């Protein structure tokens, strides 16, 4: 499977001059929603991801995703694995478990995102699960942004990675591209302005 080509075909691999939520700039941006708007494709991708996880004999009971980005991927992965699915969400900036979702003592979870960048949101979800007595046994994502090490791809870990090194991350592909400090961006030097992804129809 060529995940990069799938993202390109879906218009989810954007090229331009983007202002990222971190404040940094990039020539590329991944908009996974454009892949996941195709339910059949989303299902097929998550079946592949389920096979990867199964090949490592990871035993788990449930999947949890951080809202909003992780929900579609997590739900499809849970369907492919025939597991329960819950999600965490931010309430006034604080990641929380709501809507009557419960965690059993010792219940084993995989935390699923659409894309793992540094893994910050996934880690916040993991901490909630653990604080309620659950056990996080791994992380999963359709795509990885090159910071955290993917167990099945074995790319090197970079210093910004937040996911714990002792737990596996599974993903279908790894996207590495440069990000720039706003005051040292070659795209800015060429005279174009960085835009927030999503603000101009992307
Ligand atoms: Zn720039």
Supply the pTM of this predicted model. Answer: 0.92
CA angle 96, 101, 106 (to 5 degrees): 95
* Residue 201 confidence (pLDDT) above 80: no
Residue 185 CA, ligand 1 centroid: distance in Å: 5
Domain contains 47? yes
Q: Give the whole-angstrom CA distance, residue 186 versus residue 181.
A: 10
Buried-exposed string 95-117: b where 16+ CB fall within 10 A, e elsewhere: bebeeeeebeeebbbbbbbbbbb
- Domain span including residue 142: 3-189
Residue 202 CA, ligand 1 centroid: distance in Å: 17
Task: Indicate the SS3 state at residue 54.
Answer: helix
Cβ neighbours around 153 below 10 Å, total: 14
What CATH number has the domain bearing residue 134? 3.40.50.2020
Confidence band, pLDDT 50/70/90 cuts, at residue 21:
confident
Residue 39 CA, ligand 1 centroid: distance in Å: 34
Residue 129 CA, ligand 1 centroid: distance in Å: 38
Q: What is the pLDDT of residue 84?
A: 98
Residue 170 CA, ligand 1 centroid: distance in Å: 31
CA angle 20, 24, 28 (to 5 degrees): 55
Residue 29 CA, ligand 1 centroid: distance in Å: 13
Confidence band, pLDDT 50/70/90 cuts, at residue 197:
confident
Residue 197 CA, ligand 1 centroid: distance in Å: 13
Q: What is the pLDDT of residue 1?
A: 80
Burial class of 164 by CB neighbour count within 10 A (0 to 12, 13 to 18, 19+): middle
Provide the mean pLDDT of the chain: 95
How many domains does one find in the chain? 1
Confidence band, pLDDT 50/70/90 cuts, at residue 138:
very high
Residue 184 CA, ligand 1 centroid: distance in Å: 8
Q: What is the DSSP string of 114-154?
A: EEESS-HHHHHHHHHHHHTT-EEEEEEEEEE-SSSPPTTT-
Q: Give the whole-angstrom CA distance, residue 54 versus residue 52.
A: 5
Residue 109 CA, ligand 1 centroid: distance in Å: 39
Q: What is the pLDDT of residue 22?
A: 79
Long-range (24+ apart) CB contacts under 8 A made by 156-161 are 160/118, 161/118, 161/119
With a pLDDT cut of 90, the percent of the chain lying above it is 90
Q: What is the pLDDT of residue 199?
A: 63
Q: What is the pLDDT of residue 200?
A: 54
Residue 132 CA, ligand 1 centroid: distance in Å: 42
Q: What is the pLDDT of residue 20?
A: 86
Mean per-residue pLDDT, 120-132: 96
Domain contains 105? yes
Residue 44 CA, ligand 1 centroid: distance in Å: 36
Give the torsion through C-alpha atoms of 170, 75, 177, 95, to 10 deg.
-100
Domain contains 163? yes
Domain contains 128? yes
Domain contains 198? no
Q: What single-letter DSSP state applies at residue 6?
A: H
């Amino acid at each position: 499977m060529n995940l990069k080509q799938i993202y390109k075909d879906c218009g989810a691999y954007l090229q331009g001059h983007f202002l990222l939520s971190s404040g940094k700039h990039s020539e590329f941006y991944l908009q996974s929603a454009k892949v996941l708007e195709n339910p059949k494709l989303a299902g097929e991708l998550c079946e592949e991801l389920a096979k990867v996880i199964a090949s490592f004999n990871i035993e788990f009971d449930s999947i949890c995703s951080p809202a909003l980005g992780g929900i579609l991927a997590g739900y499809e992965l849970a369907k492919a694995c025939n597991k329960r699915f819950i999600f965490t969400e931010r309430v006034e900036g604080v990641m929380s478990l709501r809507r009557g979702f419960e965690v059993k003592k010792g219940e084993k979870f995989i935390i699923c995102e659409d894309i793992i960048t540094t893994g910050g949101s996934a880690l916040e979800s993991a901490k909630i699960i653990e604080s309620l007595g659950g056990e996080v046994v791994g992380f999963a994502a359709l795509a990885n942004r090159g910071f955290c090490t993917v167990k099945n791809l074995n790319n090197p870990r970079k210093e910004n990675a937040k996911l714990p090194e002792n737990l596996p991350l599974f993903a279908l592909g790894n996207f590495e591209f440069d990000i720039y400090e706003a005051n040292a961006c070659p795209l800015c030097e060429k005279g174009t302005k960085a835009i927030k992804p999503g603000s101009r129809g992307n």
